[in-house]
């Protein structure tokens, strides 16, 4: 029995990116995925890229036919499109991502690793190239250590060395014939950067009421801000939404923060596509005092679990119909891993000289304060199209404060 591995990899450094037409239709999917991850991962940080997953599934859909294909289309929300109409949209997204932008760097690298001597239909390869600009490489999966090393080197090459060890030799064996790799690298800057000298050690109170010391960034600036009611009377029932744009104003990070006394789990069930819309439409540009942790979230998700929960099941079983990809029988997807990495810091790794800095006045609180010293929900989205690029939550901001930032220096 041949197996096929799908590895979806994403690197997001210090921010966000891109643009898309598919944005709105993925909101529902994003929320469903989030809820699924929340149900399985107790009290953990969450990070994933709905759009990156959509591209990975698009690549799989190209190879699928019959009910296997229908299942993917249905679960991805393409029912209202004509069969195949989703590919030009996905292509647009890929292209936009690849386009040179001055405000951020984004690289998407899709590839198909094929067992030496294994036949993949030419038409599939052609479409993969056309819609996803995907490269095809040959490896020998029976030499699983060498195959894993090769794929990891490829990933490193395509993510500016940021992501290492995506796959391990245990992911492959002589039965593996195909592996799909889907990698995104992104790096951007805040529109209004935080001054490193304003970062202080601060207590962050987790939902179990334990405290950790974390580096807390500070700035007072113009952001989009709103207060919303969670419908309860608990601690006033009010939560805050803050939207911090990245350079270029195209992409922003949107945070939803409950009151200190209220666990994030009270807020999470409210999150729906319509509510996200409401946040986006209701926040107002105004001066806000922001205290935001400098943090890193890294998560590896077993996409198989998540996709199965969303109704994509056939592709994972032995009678999957992948006849558009290969004439070989009994091929199915055995592994699907989605790995993402997010670093939020003062300026972004390659920030230009500081500009437009705002002096701090602690004389009086004249503006709303957003003090992110307890768990929060966040989105990174395109402000114009509503496309959700990343979704997640931070429960443990202390995990991995590495990558060139020395905690002791604070």
Question: Which residues of the shown chain bind ligand NAG in the complex (CB under 6 A)?
Answer: 65-66, 150, 153-154, 157, 321, 323
- For ligand NAG, the closer of residues 154 and 376 by Cβ is 154
- For ligand NAG, the closer of residues 240 and 323 by Cβ is 323
Least Å distance, CB 4 to ligand NAG, is 15
Integer CA distances (angstroms), 73 to 66, 112, 173, in order: 11, 21, 30
Strand 104-115 relative to strand 176-188, pairing: antiparallel
Q: Which residues contact 185 (CB under 8 A, 6 or more apart)?
A: 11, 13, 105, 106, 107, 108, 109, 158, 159, 160, 162, 163
**Which three-class secondary structure state does DSSP give residue 225?**
strand
Least Å distance, CB 70 to ligand NAG, is 9
C-beta of residue 100 within 8 angstroms of C-beta of residue 111: no
Least Å distance, CB 111 to ligand NAG, is 9
- For ligand NAG, the closer of residues 26 and 141 by Cβ is 141
The residue written with tokens 């030419």 in the block is 122
Least Å distance, CB 10 to ligand NAG, is 18
Taking CA 408 as the corner, what is the angle to CA 402 and CA 410, rounded to the nearest 5 degrees? 100
- For ligand NAG, the closer of residues 166 and 372 by Cβ is 166
C-beta of residue 361 within 8 angstroms of C-beta of residue 25: no
Centre a 10 Å sphere on the Cβ of residue 1 and count the other Cβ atoms it contains: 10
Least Å distance, CB 8 to ligand NAG, is 18
- For ligand NAG, the closer of residues 175 and 324 by Cβ is 324
Least Å distance, CB 323 to ligand NAG, is 5
Least Å distance, CB 156 to ligand NAG, is 7
- For ligand NAG, the closer of residues 96 and 146 by Cβ is 146
- For ligand NAG, the closer of residues 16 and 128 by Cβ is 128
Closest CA relative to residue 16, chosen from 406, 397, 410, 390:
390
| DSSP at 131 | H
- For ligand NAG, the closer of residues 157 and 286 by Cβ is 157
**Which three-class secondary structure state does DSSP give residue 253?**
strand
Is the dihedral angle over the CA atoms 266, 268, 273, 279 positive or is it negative? positive
* CA gap 17, 107 in Å, rounded: 10
Least Å distance, CB 107 to ligand NAG, is 14
Nearest residue to the partner ligand NAG, using Cβ = 66
């Amino acid at each position: 029995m041949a197996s096929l591995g799908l590895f979806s990899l994403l690197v997001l450094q210090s921010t966000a990116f891109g643009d898309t037409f598919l944005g709105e239709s993925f909101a529902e999917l994003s929320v469903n995925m989030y809820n699924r991850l929340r149900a399985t991962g107790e009290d953990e940080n969450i990070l994933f890229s709905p759009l990156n997953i959509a591209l990975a599934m698009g690549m799989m859909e190209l190879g699928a036919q019959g009910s296997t294909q229908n299942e993917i289309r249905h679960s991805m929300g393409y029912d209202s499109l004509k069969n195949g109409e989703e590919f030009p949209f996905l292509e647009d997204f890929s292209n936009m991502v690849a386009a040179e932008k001055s405000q951020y760097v984004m690289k998407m690298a899709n590839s198909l690793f094929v067992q030496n001597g294994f036949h993949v239909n030419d038409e599939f390869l052609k479409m993969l190239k056309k819609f996803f600009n995907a490269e095809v490489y040959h490896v020998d999966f029976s030499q699983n250590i060498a195959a894993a090393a090769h794929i990891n080197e490829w990933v490193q090459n395509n993510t500016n060395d940021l992501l290492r060890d995506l796959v391990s030799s245990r992911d492959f064996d002589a039965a593996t014939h195909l592996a799909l790799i889907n990698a995104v690298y992104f790096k951007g800057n805040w529109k209004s950067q935080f001054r490193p000298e304003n970062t202080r050690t601060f207590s962050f109170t987790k939902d179990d009421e334990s405290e950790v010391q974390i580096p807390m960034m500070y700035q007072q600036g113009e952001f989009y801000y709103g207060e919303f009611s969670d419908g309860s009377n608990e601690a006033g029932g009010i939560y805050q939404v803050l939207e911090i744009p990245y350079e270029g104003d195209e992409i922003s990070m949107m945070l939803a923060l409950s009151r200190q006394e209220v666990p994030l789990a009270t807020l999470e069930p409210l999150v729906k596509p319509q509510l996200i819309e409401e946040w986006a439409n209701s926040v107002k540009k105004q001066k806000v005092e922001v205290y935001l942790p400098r943090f890193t979230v890294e998560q590896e998700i077993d996409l198989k679990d998540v996709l199965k929960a969303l109704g994509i099941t056939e592709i994972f079983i032995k009678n999957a119909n992948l006849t558009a990809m290969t004439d070989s029988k009994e091929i199915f997807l055995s592994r699907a891993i989605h790995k993402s990495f997010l670093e939020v810091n003062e300026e972004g790794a390659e920030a230009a000289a500081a500009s437009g800095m705002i002096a701090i006045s602690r004389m009086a609180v004249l503006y709303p304060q957003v003090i992110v010293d307890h768990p929060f929900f966040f989105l990174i989205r395109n402000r114009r199209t509503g496309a959700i690029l990343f979704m997640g939550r931070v429960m443990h901001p202390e995990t991995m404060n590495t990558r060139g930032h020395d905690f002791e220096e604070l």
